[in-house]
A = this chain, B = another copy of it.
């Protein structure tokens, strides 16, 4: 059943059927009703690919995520989705599983016009390439970004957030502070590490090079890296983890080693995912405005698609340090260790 068949049944031209579907206000009430009746009667569904081909619009937004199972990204996703749906766009998801090749494949979908635009929640491809693409296709970066690139971006200031997290530990009296990073090929990992280093240096604290351990964002890697830190001859009294998942993994390692958090080891996370307030102990962490990041990113993308101008190409959202239970002061740590 195609449009011309519907047209025949309704005694109108295909053009009229098309108008009833896409611009009903251009058709008289009478004709419109006649056509709609036929459409319902035969349960006609327009062939969307034909429409897309004709109009050069897909009404689809592709969102590329490094890991769909992450509680952090799924919140960002919600923000994107809500705005998209409000503007008549459908969201489809590309999960890269942190694989740069799959990132490429999804970007190809955009190049081949299978989506009207794209939000990248991961940006690990080379700079020149990405900038080139963004010059020709609507694209915005959220969370991850690429330095010195003229692509619209929404994120927090990861360096200053990480500095703030680390300084919280320093204020509590800790001096032996370790950092579990994300995979270091990701810019956010390098940013948060830099923030950590800035805080340490500006307080004249040494960073034992063994105090920096590279994780891969997962609970397990937080666990494993923490075990390494605890095995050190001179173990840290506090740890700042790249994200809450690894922070919780680290705490698990602390517990499994017969130690206690925060009494024996203070831990700060990052992201403020839902679980962090259920966890034992409740996590001290940096809150990112996840939903709002997604929302803003999608709003920018829609402007790009509509070729409206964007006054601000880079949006930096506000973070917040959430103090809960996973950090106590260094003196307490000392006491606790002395008891042992």
In the complex, what residue of chain B is closest to A97 when comparing beta carbons?
Answer: B78
What string of 1s and 0s marks CB contacts (under 8 Å) between A96-140 and chain B? 000000000100110111100000000000000000000000000
Pair A93/B90 contact, Cβ less than 8 Å: no
Q: Is A306 an interface residue (CB 8 A)?
A: no
What string of 1s and 0s marks CB contacts (under 8 Å) between A274-306 and chain B? 110010100000000000000000000000000
- Residues from chain B with a CB closer than 8 A to the CB of A310 are none
Pair B45/A112 contact, Cβ less than 8 Å: yes
Q: Is A255 an interface residue (CB 8 A)?
A: yes
- Residues from chain B with a CB closer than 8 A to the CB of A74 are 68-69
* Complex Cα spacing A172 to B68, Å: 38
Which parts of A31-81 form the interface with B (CB within 8 Å)?
45-50, 52-53, 58, 68-71, 74, 77, 81
Give the secondary structure class of A's interface.
helix
Interface centre among A74, A81, A219 (most CB of B within 10 A): A74
- Residues from chain B with a CB closer than 8 A to the CB of A52 are 49, 53
Q: Is A145 an interface residue (CB 8 A)?
A: no
Q: Is A94 an interface residue (CB 8 A)?
A: yes
Q: Is A252 an interface residue (CB 8 A)?
A: yes
Pair B92/A48 contact, Cβ less than 8 Å: no
Q: Is A220 an interface residue (CB 8 A)?
A: yes
Q: Is A217 an interface residue (CB 8 A)?
A: no
Interface size on A, as a range, is 35 or more
Q: Is A223 an interface residue (CB 8 A)?
A: yes
Pair A92/B94 contact, Cβ less than 8 Å: yes
Shortest C-beta distance, A129 to chain B (Å), equals: 12
Query: A69-B74, A105-B90 given as contacts; is B45 within 8 A of A53 (CB)?
Result: no
Residue from the list B45, B112, B280 in contact with A47, Cβ < 8 A: B112
* Complex Cα spacing A151 to B169, Å: 57
- Residues from chain B with a CB closer than 8 A to the CB of A275 are 219
Pair A46/B112 contact, Cβ less than 8 Å: yes
* Complex Cα spacing A295 to B52, Å: 32
Query: Which 10 pairs, one residue from A and one from B, show the smallest C-beta to C-beta distance?
Result: A48-B112, A93-B93, A92-B92, A53-B53, A69-B74, A68-B68, A49-B53, A49-B52, A45-B111, A49-B113
Cross-chain pairs A/B with CB under 8 angstroms, 20 sampled: A45-B111, A47-B112, A48-B114, A49-B52, A49-B112, A52-B53, A53-B53, A69-B69, A81-B95, A92-B93, A92-B94, A93-B93, A93-B95, A219-B278, A220-B274, A220-B278, A223-B278, A249-B278, A252-B278, A252-B280
Chain A: residues with CB nearer than 8 A to chain B? 45-50, 52-53, 58, 68-71, 74, 77, 81, 90, 92-95, 105, 108-109, 111-114, 219-220, 223, 249, 252, 255, 274-275, 278, 280
Q: Known pairs A69-B69, A220-B274. 5 more at Cβ < 8 A? A: A45-B111, A47-B113, A49-B114, A90-B105, A219-B275
